[in-house]
Amino acid sequence: MRILTGFEYEFNHCRSAMRLLCLLLLGAALVASSPHLWTKLILTHHWPCTFCSMEHCHSKIDHWTLHGLWPDNGMNCNSSWHFNSTEIEDLLDEMKENWPDLLSPSSTGFWKYEWHKHGTCAAKAACLDSQHKYFSKALELYHKLDLNSVLTKFNITPSEKYYPFPAIEAVIENFYGAKPKIQCAHPSKDADVQVLGQIEICFDTSFTLTDCEKQTSVEEEEAAFHTGRGRRKLSGFMVCDHNTPVYYPPLP
């Protein structure tokens, strides 16, 4: 005798007139209980000058680079799905330019980490269900947004002067029609300036721009990344304070 699954048992005990409603409710419960389904993708950019001032690296990159493409739910979804750089060989030159490992420029460790932690979860969607699809889509969205050009167009450029934070936020939100999440480095608790470091812009499951949340569990875990040599130290980015001037540092 076949043993009924929990779903079948609950469904069979619904009255026939209510079965459609039961099916909808039970289906919704199954979706809600899945730990790896996502509804939003966070395309995260970081400013190399700020990152390297904190992590003691030496970058001459003068444009916003990719930090990652992060689903809003699920991490390390498939530990057996190993990163293989040969699958993205045609993307490597572009990734070195726009998605570099600022700490180890000749290493693929950063991309490996991003694939294991975030790519294997993004792959729950058929449109991202391979390493090539995941990395190429991140690059496609990065170029589509063209954050560097947008900020420059509205005279938000690296400078020794300070910017009011609301001005930076308004430029991005008004241009894209969606709320970004902007993060800064804070030199000290009582500092009179904050340093522009990271900008997140979000997409829904159809890759349409949508509002970002102020905080997600993904970012709480993303403060550091791993390599074979151990754990990198915390980056220290926090949501920018609306009332503190912003320093957007130029190349040294």
DSSP string, 17-37: GGHHHHHHHHHHHHHHH-TT-
CATH 3.90.730.10 intervals, the chain: 40-247
pLDDT for res 26: 37
Q: Rounded CA gap, 249 and 159, in Å? A: 6
Half-sphere exposure of 214 (CA within 13 A, CB side): 4
Cα–Cα dist 117/39, whole Å: 17
Residue 213 pLDDT: 86
Rounded CA separation 183/230 (Å): 25
> 65 in helix, strand or coil?
strand
The model's pTM is: 0.80
Catalytic residues: 67, 114, 118
* Dihedrals phi, psi of 7, to nearest 5 degrees: -65, -45
Could you read off the pLDDT tens digit of each residue along the chain, which spans 252 residues? 444 444 444 445 444 445 544 434 434 443 444 455 899 999 999 999 999 999 989 889 999 999 999 999 999 999 999 999 999 999 999 999 999 999 999 999 999 999 999 999 999 999 999 999 999 999 999 999 999 999 999 999 999 999 999 999 999 999 999 999 999 999 877 789 999 999 999 999 999 999 998 665 555 555 444 333 333 444 579 999 999 999 999 998
β strands within the chain, DSSP E:
40-46, 65-71, 162-163, 181-185, 194-204, 209-210, 226-227, 230-231, 237-239, 246-247
Question: What single-letter DSSP state applies at residue 119?
Answer: I
Return the pLDDT at 77: 96
> Could you tell me which CATH number the domain at 40-247 has?
3.90.730.10
247: left (phi over 0), alpha (psi -120 to 50) or beta: beta
**DSSP letter assigned to residue 201:** E
- pLDDT at position 18 is 52
Q: Is 175 exposed, middle or buried (0-12, 13-18, 19+ CB in 10 A)?
A: middle
pLDDT of residue 75: 94
Question: In the structure encoding, which two tokens stand for residue 35, read together?
Answer: 């730990």
Contact 61, 48 (CB under 8 A): yes
Structural contact between residues 57 and 223, judged by C-beta atoms closer than 8 angstroms: no
Cα 46 from Cα 54, distance rounded (Å): 12
Cα 162 to Cα 193: distance, rounded to the nearest angstrom: 8
CA dist 27 to 21, 63, 249, 252, Å? 10, 45, 50, 56
| Residue 222: predicted pLDDT | 55
What is the model's pLDDT at position 191?
84
Query: What is the structure's pLDDT at 244?
Result: 96
What are the residues facing 41 on neighbouring strands? 71, 203
Q: How far is CA 10 from CA 7, 14, 179, 241, in A?
A: 5, 7, 41, 50
- Residue 200's DSSP bridge partners are 44, 181
